[in-house]
Structure 1
């Protein structure tokens, strides 16, 4: 949380007036410390990526950082899996049951992951409207995950995730990534494919895995590599 309003404006290529407007609207993650707004670079990049739907915001990496191939939504979902009838009547209860269903390696702590997800929801809801939420840790590097995973969870009953549109959430797309670059990439591409009517229909109807993956492949095929 070491960025000022001016730093945030430069990072997002907007005016300071826009930054203050988004803070007032409650959409931009910000912290007020000693009367001044401060920002986390990771959270700003994550927010910007989700807003730009399909465009990957440039992430500055050290020169010696090895750039591994970025995962597709389909491959991440194949790794994470699809689960039905996730139980719970509150946001915390469904997150707990969802984490219990995750396909995690032994080096990923489920308890820590759940705490990270709770902390992210306390900062700002991950609900994106129309009954969908994308829970994820604020800092993916803390999990030591070895590969990207998206886990699709259909809830047993709609739950209030405090979405901006007031709708209860019925679908979770839980994102786990090995690094920030992959994390932003997946959230960005999710923002795009969730606009695809055919793919959204499979989620609304809680279709079987075969239909979901087929619709996802078509939707993701419309994205530039």
Structure 2
């Protein structure tokens, strides 16, 4: 789903001038069509986890999700796995290593998937700042699987992803979902969770798997309790 600047400003609850500023600075990605900017919904979701855009990603969640089973982040992360020490000297090498490390359906064309992710990077970096990236293609990665998975990959050494804040990437989240609705649901919750300073600190020190899962569970409990403020919004 694409939005114009006016629609994006309304959704993000900021002025159109602020949206144009974010586009100019590379914090928001936009395509120029007939002299007008068009922003993709999933791109906005990712960037709400940026330090520059302190907006609850929950505003993106569709009401139509009510009554439909939607997995928790910790469950999806447990299914996708947490990988440590992945090696690569550049984006292409890193994305190839990540795709080859994942537990994907046997009929998945891993090489094509890696190329799709790399082609998306050519349109604009998927780094969201502070050393984190969420590679994706314009359409969600939908595979023949019964449940979604989020894989968290820690790199042996940070790699330049062309992030707007100039910081190289050390942690990469990759989402794989059976439906587009589920993809957006998980992306919105992941974006919200990445505002939490305690969770980010665990990522920076490359904490153990169980600790990271516990941090996601803690943040999600806060999401379910509107009267409880999140510990921190960076």
Q: TM-score range by the shorter chain?
A: 0.7 to 0.9
Look up the match of 1:46.
Answer: 45
Q: Alpha carbons of 1:46 and 1:115: their partners in 2 closer, same or farther (altered >3 Å)?
A: farther
CA contact (8 A) 1:86 1:98 kept: yes
Q: Where in structure 2 are the equivalents of 1:23-172 lying within 5 Å?
A: 23-34=23-34, 36-39=35-38, 41-43=40-42, 46=45, 50=49, 51=53, 52-59=55-62, 68-140=68-140, 143-172=143-172
CA contact (8 A) 1:108 1:145 kept: no
**Which 5+ residue runs of structure 2 have no aligned equivalent?**
226-234
Matched residues, number: 221
Deviations 1:20-45 (CA, angstroms, capped at 9, x unpaired): 333322233322245x1252554465
Look up the match of 2:191.
Answer: 191
DSSP 3-state at the match of 1:155: strand
Query: 1:114 and 1:222 mapped to 2: Cα distance?
Result: 35
Q: CA deviation at 1:116?
A: 2.5
Query: 2:9 and 2:205 mapped to 1: Cα distance?
Result: 41
Query: 2:8 and 2:168 mapped to 1: Cα distance?
Result: 31
DSSP 3-state at the match of 1:76: helix
**Which 5+ residue runs of structure 1 have no aligned equivalent?**
none
TM-score, normalised on structure 2?
A: 0.78
Look up the match of 1:21.
Answer: 21
Of residues 18-27 and 87-96 in structure 1, the stretch that sits farther from structure 2 once superposed is 18-27
Query: 1:157 and 1:186 mapped to 2: Cα distance?
Result: 27
Q: CA deviation at 1:68?
A: 3.4
Look up the match of 1:200.
Answer: 200
Of residues 114-123 and 70-79 in structure 1, the stretch that sits farther from structure 2 once superposed is 114-123
Query: 1:2 and 1:134 mapped to 2: Cα distance?
Result: 19
TM-score, normalised on structure 1?
A: 0.81
Of residues 148-157 and 23-32 in structure 1, the stretch that sits farther from structure 2 once superposed is 23-32
Deviations 1:62-100 (CA, angstroms, capped at 9, x unpaired): xxx996311211011011001111110101111110110
CA contact (8 A) 1:134 1:172 kept: yes
Q: Alpha carbons of 1:60 and 1:39: their partners in 2 closer, same or farther (altered >3 Å)?
A: farther
CA contact (8 A) 1:49 1:187 kept: no
CA contact (8 A) 2:11 2:59 kept: no
Q: CA RMSD of the aligned region, Å?
A: 3.0
